[in-house]
């Protein structure tokens, strides 16, 4: 695949609340704080309202995208068609080809970029706004097995064929792979389910290596979703990265913001000077049935 650029990352977070004050089973477990989970965000905005606001922030430079790809798993809108209309209008891009994708949960970043990859390969689109937004509706915030705490949030970025001008983090996406296994139950934590997850991760890493020529040890850092640190370490080993490569994100501040985690973490880590030009990043997004492995390089 032809490489493309990701820049102008913007993010939106709910109002902070302390995890230990969450009235759910397991929220008072002191190990959550030991593992980095301190607070989560709550918003009264709908997912499409968050998407519109964060998308507009990503386009603050005045560029109008040729297309918009929006990912959400939150069923709190007016349906796909109306949400597409609302989003395109909110970012002042009424002529943009707009579509909504879903189904891979917290691995939806891989679905977003895979869709962009297809657009670049088959159309004359040059600029795509990618947006993801989710919030907790009709369920608790504590994830199964206390994997993490769900937090309301959104993120957006501009994806272009050509290197953008201006300041801020710029990632060169060299390739990616998205792999899924739809067997098993979402709450299945049995050894057999864990083995399936490990094999799925290795399959995604292998596919990404075949696409880009880079294996796990060729990266400076490996970034995962904002799960508890023991879970991130497990996924690191399962995928073949070393523990020295694992770079946790802002887990304490934002908990797990669904598919927004990796965009948020990359932007904040770059702003703090942790990421520097030349760093090679393995961005690994995982959901209940999917792994996405994204090969990216910091170029600005």
**What does the pLDDT look like over 128-173, one tens digit per residue?**
999 999 999 999 999 988 889 999 999 999 999 999 988 899 999 9
Task: Mark whether 141 and 201 lie in a shared domain.
Answer: no
Task: Mark whether 100 and 183 lie in a shared domain.
Answer: no
Question: For position 47, which CATH number holds?
Answer: 3.40.47.10
Q: pTM for the whole thing?
A: 0.95
Q: From CA 125, how far away is CA 69, in angstroms rounded?
A: 12
HSE-CB at 171 with a 13 A cutoff on CA atoms is 25
Stated as kind and residue range, the H or E segment containing 159 is strand 153-160
Specify the number of domains making up the chain: 2
67 is a domain residue? yes
Q: From CA 125, how far away is CA 66, in angstroms rounded?
A: 6
Task: Mark whether 14 and 135 lie in a shared domain.
Answer: yes
165 is a domain residue? no
**Residue 243's domain spans which residues?**
170-247+258-298
What's the pLDDT score for residue 57? Answer: 98
Tokens 């798993």 sit at which residue?
73
Q: Which of residues 160, 181, 199 is at a domain's end?
A: 160
| pLDDT higher than threshold 80 for residue 68 | yes
Q: From CA 172, how far away is CA 212, in angstroms rounded?
A: 12
Average pLDDT, the chain: 94
**Phi/psi of residue 86, each to 5°?**
-65, -40
Count of beta carbons in the 10 Å neighbourhood of residue 94: 10
Task: Mark whether 33 and 144 lie in a shared domain.
Answer: yes
Q: Which of residues 160, 191, 225 is at a domain's end?
A: 160
Q: How confident is the model at residue 281 (pLDDT cuts 50, 70, 90)?
A: very high
Task: Mark whether 200 and 136 lie in a shared domain.
Answer: no
Give the tens place of pLDDT for each residue, 184-229: 765 666 777 778 888 999 999 999 999 999 999 999 999 999 999 9
Task: Mark whether 139 and 264 lie in a shared domain.
Answer: no
Task: Mark whether 141 and 271 lie in a shared domain.
Answer: no
Q: From CA 98, how far away is CA 221, in angstroms rounded?
A: 33
Count of beta carbons in the 10 Å neighbourhood of residue 119: 20
Task: Mark whether 147 and 9 lie in a shared domain.
Answer: yes
């Amino acid at each position: 695949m032809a490489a493309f650029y990701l820049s102008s990352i913007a993010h939106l977070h709910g109002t902070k609340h302390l995890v230990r004050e969450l009235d759910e089973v397991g929220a008072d477990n002191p190990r959550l704080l030991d593992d980095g989970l301190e607070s989560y965000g709550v918003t009264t905005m709908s997912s499409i309202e968050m998407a519109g606001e964060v998308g507009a922030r990503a386009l603050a430079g005045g560029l109008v995208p040729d297309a918009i790809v929006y990912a959400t798993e939150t069923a709190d809108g007016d349906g796909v068609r109306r949400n597409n209309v609302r989003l395109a209008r909110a970012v002042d891009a009424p002529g943009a080809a707009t579509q909504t994708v879903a189904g891979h949960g917290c691995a939806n970043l891989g679905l977003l970029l895979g869709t962009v990859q297809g657009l670049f390969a088959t159309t004359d689109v040059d600029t795509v706004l990618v947006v993801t937004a989710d919030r907790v509706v009709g369920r608790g915030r504590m994830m199964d097995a206390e994997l993490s705490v769900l937090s309301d949030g959104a993120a957006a970025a501009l994806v272009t064929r050509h290197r953008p001008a201006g300041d801020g983090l710029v990632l060169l996406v060299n390739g990616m792979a998205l792999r899924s296994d739809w067997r098993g139950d979402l709450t299945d934590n049995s050894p057999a389910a864990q083995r399936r997850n490990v094999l799925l991760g290795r399959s995604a890493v292998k596919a990404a290596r075949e696409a880009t020529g880079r294996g796990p040890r060729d990266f400076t850092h490996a970034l995962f979703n904002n799960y508890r640190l023991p879970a991130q370490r497990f996924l690191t080993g399962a995928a073949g990265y070393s523990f020295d490569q694992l770079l946790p994100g802002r887990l304490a501040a934002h908990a797990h913001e669904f598919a927004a985690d990796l965009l948020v973490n990359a932007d904040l880590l770059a702003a703090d000077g942790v990421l520097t030009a030349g760093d090679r990043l393995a961005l690994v997004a995982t959901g209940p049935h999917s792994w996405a492995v994204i090969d990216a390089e910091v170029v600005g």
